[in-house]
Chain A
Amino acid sequence: MALDTDTVKRIARLARIHVDDGDLPALADELNNILGWVEQLDEVDTDGVEPMTSAVEMVQRLRTDAVTDGDVRDKVLANAPAEADGFFVVPKVIE
């Protein structure tokens, strides 16, 4: 399943990473190298094997549905690239 440049462009869009068109062929080669190498996994018989979902067997814990860290607005905003009046400032989303 070799990736062509159109597919790489589509993946980059999904990943929200800007890639210049001129860089797509080299990137496709790099990704294909890695994907070609992982294809050796096809040699492993995994029929009837459950995919691993947890590295250590454990029961999922649930916590009480309650606010645990509220009232920290200024802390939340402390590292914002742009903020005003207690809000994050973001680019215009709706035209």
Chain B
Amino acid sequence: MTGIIPVLITTFLASAVEAVEMVTIVVGVGATRGWRAVLIGVVAGIGVLAVLIVGLGAALTRIPIGPLRIVVGGLLLVFGLQWFRKGIRRVAARGMAGVQFNPDDEEREWTGDGFDWTGFVLSFKGVVLEGVEVVLIVVSFGASAGQLGAAVIGGAGAVVVIGGIGGVLHPFVTRIPRSFLQLVVGTLLTTFGTFWALEGIGIAWPGGDGAIVGLLLLYLLTASANIALVRRRTLVLAPERR
């Protein structure tokens, strides 16, 4: 069983990345089309997610932990590697720069009569799609580590904190440095994915749970080396393109 604090921190950070996307969509649509339909879309999306959490939570308790660790660990490893690679590329290219809401994605301000279904669907879709990813992170981490309660607190906490920040600071929410957060979370997901998948296979890690720290350091070192390599190559190639 993995400790409460590592699961809490990892699910909080992993969910925070999804929550940033979710809040960015909601704030962006709400700011351009008005808040009523957008907030109803948010509430409807959260309702769908609540049903999903209850359904998945009940189903997961009947699955044996060994095969679950292989499947979830393997999925986390493959999924984490996406963020790990993208995080390295983005941090190498932009440093700690944040995301910018693409003005091309913005809908024209809605001024018609009745209910704004476009605003509703956009926010509902954003909450459900990003929320499903939060649910998967929470359920997979929680079930594999045997710490579902801590994972739920981490995931829900991230959504509440990022949502609160988005509400208070919505003019600045699109400037959260997502590239750096993505690299950190990608490293954590890859670390836990490696650890759990191999533990599920029956591998005895040297140092037990302490191997997680070793893996994390190894992958952080890999990320740092790759960021340096990409930046160096960019500097070498840049004069040739002129």
Co-complex (A, B): no
| B→A interface (CB under 8 Å) | none
